[in-house]
């Protein structure tokens, strides 16, 4: 990004292409179908993969676009502004690939990143457990070395793509837990989902993002070869935190897109509707609220892209900025969607209206990749010098 947070010509081309794709392919009918039936849109994802939007930041040598975090944010923002559920479904199938780029062996990269870039496979990342959500170091899934294999046992919860993925990056404890240093002794493994002992149960009834797959998964003596260990044994927690510092900015861009899309919906609505024979758009209170929300969205957007720009400049994310961006953008998305639905009145309460889905999809941005309370904790501890 150039000084002043304006996009380069190439970035603007990506933004326009992403918006055009979303406006053409994210039809209201498909959005309602996937939302109501909680169905992953395979055909839509294939169309997205054919154009390379899902792999915009996978390195060129493995078939990806070779761009960086800013371009990834641009695509996520534009997709989410048109339809958050379908936008996330298109981009989530490469979730976690950065860990392979940073820490995977060349053989692992060649095998999996090339397939991801072509849209031949779907991946996911399995970190969260019933007792290890915000407390990410409290992982109890175990991996025990037996000869040339690792044997994995345990349960993971709320795993994106859990029942549709071809492989997952799975965190497991490879050493006994030290109560005083729970973060030590955690490792990452590539686990193909067709291995014996792998089981996934799709979670239904989610409040939002229903076009994406979420599952509870279990490992019962799942055996993987030694070469499926990613990076160094025992370093998994550090890889996870490194990834979250990157993915939080991605969620921030998702939140900005949701807020931007919700604001557009309400602006279009109040310009068309009347109350007491007067257009809603003429009510000063509504005008003031729209002005307030638009300003907050612009502030959130600036913070998100600043966090991404710093990552490019430094070669690594700034976790204070990443946490600020994710927390604030998520809060703005929820507030904007809430007011947008309020101004729709009773119509907004019906899922036939797009704002209903925006409202439900917005909340997740305050929960996953670290709840907003965790983001505030990271910010405060960094500012106060606590480690």
Q: Token pair for residue 322?
A: 């990443």
List the one residue out of 272, 209, 206, 243 whose CA is nearest residue 369.
243
Give me the pLDDT at residue 4, please. 53
Q: What is the pLDDT of residue 23?
A: 98
Assign domain 238-384 to a CATH class.
mainly alpha
Residue with the bigger pLDDT between 23 and 2: it is: 23
Structure tokens at 375: 């983001």
Domain ranges of the chain: 9-101, 123-233, 238-384
Residue 134 has a pLDDT of 81
For residue 135, the model assigns a pLDDT of: 81
Of 77, 233, 242, 369, the catalytic one is 369
The CATH code belonging to domain 123-233 is 2.40.110.10
pTM over 0.75: yes
pLDDT in tens, 275-301: 888 899 999 999 999 999 999 999 999
Active site (annotated) includes residue 232: no
Task: Tell me the pLDDT tens digit for each residue of 24-52.
Answer: 999 999 999 999 999 999 999 999 999 99
pLDDT value for 5: 67
Per-residue pLDDT tens over the stretch 111-159: 999 999 999 999 999 999 998 778 888 899 999 999 999 999 999 999 9
pLDDT tens-digit readout, 236-275:
999 999 999 999 999 999 999 999 999 999 999 999 998 8
217 pLDDT exceeds 60? yes
Level-2 CATH architecture, domain 9-101: Orthogonal Bundle (1.10)
* Mean pLDDT for the chain overall: 95
């Amino acid at each position: 990004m150039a000084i002043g947070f304006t996009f380069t010509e190439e970035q603007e081309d990506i933004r326009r292409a992403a918006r055009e794709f979303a406006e053409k392919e994210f039809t209201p009918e498909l959005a309602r179908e996937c939302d109501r039936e909680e169905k992953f849109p395979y055909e839509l994802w294939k169309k997205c993969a054919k154009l390379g939007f899902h792999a915009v930041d996978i390195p060129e040598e493995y078939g990806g676009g070779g761009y960086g975090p800013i371009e990834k944010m641009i695509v996520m923002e534009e997709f989410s502004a048109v339809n958050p559920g379908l936008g996330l479904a298109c981009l989530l199938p490469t979730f976690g690939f950065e860990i392979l780029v940073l820490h995977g062996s060349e053989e692992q990269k060649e095998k999996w990143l090339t397939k991801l870039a072509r849209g031949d496979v779907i991946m996911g990342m399995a970190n969260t457990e019933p007792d290890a959500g915000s407390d990410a170091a409290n992982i109890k899934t175990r991996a025990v070395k037996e000869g040339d294999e690792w044997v994995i046992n345990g349960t993971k919860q709320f795993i994106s793509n859990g029942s549709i993925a071809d492989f997952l990056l799975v965190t497991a404890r490879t050493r006994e837990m030290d109560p005083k240093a729970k973060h030590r002794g955690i490792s990452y493994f590539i686990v193909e989902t067709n291995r014996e002992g792998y089981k996934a149960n799709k979670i239904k009834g989610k409040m939002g993002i229903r076009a994406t797959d979420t599952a509870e998964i279990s490992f019962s003596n799942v055996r993987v070869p030694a070469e499926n260990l990613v990076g160094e044994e025992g370093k998994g927690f550090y890889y996870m935190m490194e990834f979250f510092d990157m993915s939080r900015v991605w969620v921030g861009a998702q939140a900005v897109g949701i807020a931007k899309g919700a604001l557009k919906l309400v602006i279009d609505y109040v310009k068309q509707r009347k109350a007491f024979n007067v257009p809603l758009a003429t009510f000063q209170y509504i005008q003031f609220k729209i002005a307030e929300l638009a300003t907050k969205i612009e502030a959130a957007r600036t913070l998100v892209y600043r966090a991404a720009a710093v990552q490019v400049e430094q070669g690594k994310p700034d976790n204070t900025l990443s946490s600020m961006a994710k927390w604030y953008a998520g809060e703005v998305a929820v507030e904007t969607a809430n007011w947008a639905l309020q101004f729709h009145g009773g119509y907004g309460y019906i899922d036939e209206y797009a704002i209903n889905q925006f409202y439900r999809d917005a909340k997740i941005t305050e929960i996953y990749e670290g709840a907003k309370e965790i983001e505030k904790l990271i910010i405060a501890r960094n500012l106060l010098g606590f480690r």
